[in-house]
């Protein structure tokens, strides 16, 4: 057993990130691999610490205005909302009966959706901290949950039940069950036009689905040395970034063909997530060596390292304006970093 399998406490053979969350492995197609390290990589050590969780901070995300951050606590069963400038905890979202793996804002910043080990996703009011809806139907961990761009739907990834599900946010009703993956589903995201959903799985495929019918439109598959498929879409949806967890590779793929465009040796340790900046020009990675790194998405050059966590960095995400990054760690803290 790899040392981080017990750290993540996921049944059977895998550990998810999340998310993250972001995002992991797939498709090995075409292209020479490439690893480019900046000779004068800037090391950032200045941050605002978000302290209050009593376990690993498994998921981090900014609100759309960049003024708030939501975090998910692995063992303390809570999500928490924070003020970015002061680092003050604004709300504690309590209701899940076990670990919380995913927490994301709606685009209007007024609601949050969380996914948990208790097989539920939950929708919360940001201002009051009140639970608005409980989305029940999955038979195992809800490892990833995210709103559609218009906030009217949620898609969830059901880990070992092998499904993703689409929900109506007003009624809490399940609209579609996306079935076809042969192993755990780890991530699910809407396209910007809200007509498609992309899912990734331990079966080493990324699948694209029609939102209205639930029909699978496309399957991209490949073979590599990682354990499963986490991924993030670029803002223009032309590229996909994936990570090979245990070998430290970041792969950038063409979203249409699945062809590998670039491979970066990001670390010799384990990787937990990767995510694009909102302009698609940078990628942030989070790894078990306690460091988050920022990369040029075109050249693969390392631009910056965020150093200060005292345990694995489990999650990382850019602010909407690209000027900050929030990271979550096994040291029980999240940190907001101002980028140079």
- Structural domains present in the chain: 19-338 (2.130.10.10)
pLDDT computed for residue 30 by the predictor:
27
Read off the tokens for 194.
Answer: 């809200």
pLDDT(6) > 70: no
pLDDT computed for residue 147 by the predictor:
98
pLDDT computed for residue 222 by the predictor:
63
Which residue is it, tokens 């981090």?
60
pLDDT tens per residue, range 239-266? 999 888 778 889 999 998 888 899 999 9
Give 3's pLDDT tier (boundaries 50, 70, 90). Answer: very low
* Nearest partner of 25 among 245, 310, 217, judged by Cα: 245
Residue 285 exposure: Cα atoms within 13 Å on the Cβ side: 34
94 and 103 Cβ atoms separated by less than 8 Å? no
pLDDT computed for residue 7 by the predictor:
35
Radius of gyration of the chain (CA): 18
pLDDT computed for residue 144 by the predictor:
96
The residue with greater pLDDT, 179 or 7, is 179
**Would you tell me how many other CB atoms lie within 10 Å of the CB of residue 125?**
14
pLDDT tens per residue, range 157-209? 998 899 999 999 999 999 999 999 999 999 999 999 999 999 999 888 899 99
The DSSP call for residue 66 is S
pLDDT computed for residue 123 by the predictor:
98
pLDDT tens per residue, range 203-230? 888 999 999 999 999 998 865 544 446 8
- Of 36-50, 99-113, 139-153, the least confident: 36-50
143 and 165 Cβ atoms separated by less than 8 Å? no
**E strands within 66-162?**
68-73, 78-83, 89-94, 100-105, 111-116, 120-125, 131-136, 144-147, 153-157
Read off the tokens for 159.
Answer: 């880990």
pLDDT computed for residue 40 by the predictor:
59
146 forms bridges with which residues in the sheet? 155
> Rounded mean pLDDT of 233-238?
95
pLDDT computed for residue 227 by the predictor:
41
pLDDT tens per residue, range 59-98? 999 999 999 999 999 889 999 999 999 999 999 999 999 9
86 and 68 Cβ atoms separated by less than 8 Å? no
**Cα–Cα–Cα angle for 51, 54, 59, rounded to 5 degrees:** 75
Give 104's pLDDT tier (boundaries 50, 70, 90). Answer: very high
CA distance 256 to 153: 25
pLDDT(274) > 70: yes
């Amino acid at each position: 057993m790899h040392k981080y399998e017990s750290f993540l406490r996921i049944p059977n053979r895998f550990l998810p990130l999340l998310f993250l969350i972001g995002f992991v492995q797939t498709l090995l197609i075409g292209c020479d691999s490439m690893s480019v390290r900046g000779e004068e990589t800037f090391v950032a050590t200045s941050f605002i610490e978000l302290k209050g969780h009593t376990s690993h901070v498994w998921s981090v995300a900014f609100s759309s205005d960049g003024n708030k951050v939501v975090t998910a606590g692995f063992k303390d069963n809570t999500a928490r909302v924070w003020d970015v400038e002061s680092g003050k905890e604004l709300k504690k979202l309590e209701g899940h009966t076990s670990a919380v793996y995913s927490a994301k804002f709606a685009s209007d910043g007024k609601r949050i959706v969380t996914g948990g080990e208790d097989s539920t996703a939950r929708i919360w009011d940001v201002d009051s901290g009140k639970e608005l809806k409980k989305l029940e139907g999955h038979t195992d961990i809800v490892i990833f949950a995210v709103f559609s761009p218009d906030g009217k739907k949620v898609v969830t990834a059901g880990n070992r039940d092998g499904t993703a599900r689409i929900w109506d946010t007003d009624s809490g009703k399940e609209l579609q069950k996306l079935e076809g993956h042969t192993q755990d589903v780890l991530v699910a995201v809407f396209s910007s036009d809200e007509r498609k959903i992309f899912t990734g799985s331990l079966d080493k495929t990324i699948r694209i689905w029609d939102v209205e019918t639930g029909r699978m439109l496309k399957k991209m598959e490949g073979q590599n040395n990682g354990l499963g498929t986490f991924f993030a879409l670029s803002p223009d949806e032309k590229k996909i970034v994936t990570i090979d967890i245990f070998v430290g590779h970041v792969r950038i793929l063409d979203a249409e063909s699945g062809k590998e465009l670039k491979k970066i040796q990001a670390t010799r340790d384990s990787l937990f997530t990767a995510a694009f900046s909102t302009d698609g020009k940078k990628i942030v990675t989070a790894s078990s060596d306690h460091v988050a790194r920022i990369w040029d998405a075109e050249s693969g050059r390392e631009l910056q390292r965020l150093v200060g966590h005292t345990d694995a960095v489990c999650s990382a995400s850019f602010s909407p304006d690209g000027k900050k990054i929030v990271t979550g760690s096994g040291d029980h803290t999240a940190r907001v970093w101002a980028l140079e």
